[in-house]
Structures are given as structure tokens and as C-alpha cells.
């Protein structure tokens, strides 16, 4: 009897384990954040709720080859994204300041959009993008509607770095994001 009770209790405890952060799905509320950005401002997702869609493009590490290609695409072709009523960010767990920080990275690649820094890695964990083994974020892009819910998650960005801006604009169109006025 004790074994049966222990098994039942164990099963109940197992079933009550909350969903891991890495399992965010389309339709889920996007985790709020409050992060410093390369433009000197601090952004919170909640500031956009009910006002504007948001895109957060997580990237692994500033000044690396793939991240440079992605940042350049967004900087050089951002006009395609800016046709939509959306605020978009790149985000990483890199520090904001320093030679290898996001501010220096954004300046070098003439990013005309904010890069968010999450050095505590708390937001990266909440979005399920933190690669614990490597200590940095996976390259995933989250599309968040005006209602604060996740509309799409792109986990294949790494296969199309050169067309990141075009792909982001195309996805915003697919999601029926309103045009900017």
C-alpha cells in the first residue's frame, strides 16, 4: 500500500511540474523583460502591449561571424521592416558596454535599431533561448503581437543569416502586422 501511495504521489508531483521556459509556444504570453539597450534606453515588453507588435531576434555573441551577418542584414535592409508598425530588437546575453559589448557591436555595424543586453541571462532563460552548455543565447526570433502573445517563433534563422531583414519583413506580412503610418 505504501508503495502504491508513493507511486501515486510521485506521479502527481511529476504531473504538477511546470512547463519549462524552453517550451514557449505560439499563443503563449511572451515573458516580460526590462533590458538596457544600445540607444541608451531601457525597454520593457509591457510598454508595447496594446500599442505595437514587437520582434526580438536573439543572437549568440557580438562580433562573431554569424551575428555580424545578421546584424548587417537588419541594418542595411531595415527599411523593409520599418514598413510595419513594429519595434524590433536584436538581443543577447553580452554586456552592454566594453570592447566586446553590444554597444560597440551596434556602432561598428551601424545598427539603426536597439540591441538589448541581458547579462544576467534571466530574460534569455524566460524565453528558453539560453544554451546552458555554451553560456549564450540560441539564434531564435520571437514575433510578439500587440496583445503580448507570441505569434511566431523562428528557430531556423541561422540557415538564412544574409536575408534576416527580408525574412523578418516577410513574416510580419504573413502575420498581418499593420503598416506603419
Burial class (CB in 10 A: 0-12, 13-18, 19+), 73: buried
Round to whole Å and give the CA distance between 143 and 30: 9
Round to whole Å and give the CA distance between 51 and 147: 8
Q: Which H or E element spans position 167?
A: helix 164-174
CA angle 131, 17, 25 (to 5 degrees): 55
Q: Which H or E element spans position 86?
A: strand 86-92
Q: Which residues are catalytic?
A: 67
Round to whole Å and give the CA distance between 84 and 43: 19
Amino acid at each position: 500500500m505504501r508503495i502504491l501511495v508513493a507511486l501515486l504521489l510521485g506521479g502527481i508531483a511529476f504531473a504538477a511540474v511546470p512547463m519549462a521556459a524552453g517550451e514557449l509556444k505560439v499563443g503563449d504570453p511572451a515573458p516580460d523583460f526590462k533590458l538596457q539597450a544600445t540607444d541608451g534606453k531601457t525597454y520593457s515588453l509591457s510598454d508595447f502591449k496594446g500599442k505595437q507588435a514587437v520582434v526580438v531576434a536573439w543572437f549568440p555573441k557580438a562580433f562573431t561571424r554569424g551575428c555580424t551577418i545578421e546584424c548587417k542584414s537588419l541594418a542595411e535592409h531595415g527599411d523593409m521592416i520599418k514598413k510595419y508598425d513594429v519595434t524590433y530588437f536584436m538581443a543577447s546575453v553580452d554586456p552592454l558596454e566594453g570592447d566586446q559589448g553590444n554597444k560597440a557591436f551596434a556602432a561598428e555595424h551601424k545598427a539603426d535599431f536597439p540591441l538589448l543586453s541581458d547579462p544576467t541571462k534571466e530574460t534569455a532563460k524566460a524565453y528558453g533561448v539560453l544554451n546552458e552548455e555554451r553560456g549564450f543565447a540560441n539564434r531564435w526570433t520571437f514575433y510578439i503581437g500587440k496583445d503580448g502573445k507570441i505569434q511566431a517563433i523562428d528557430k531556423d534563422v541561422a540557415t538564412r543569416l544574409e536575408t534576416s531583414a527580408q525574412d523578418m519583413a516577410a513574416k510580419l506580412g504573413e502575420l498581418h502586422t499593420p503598416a506603419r503610418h
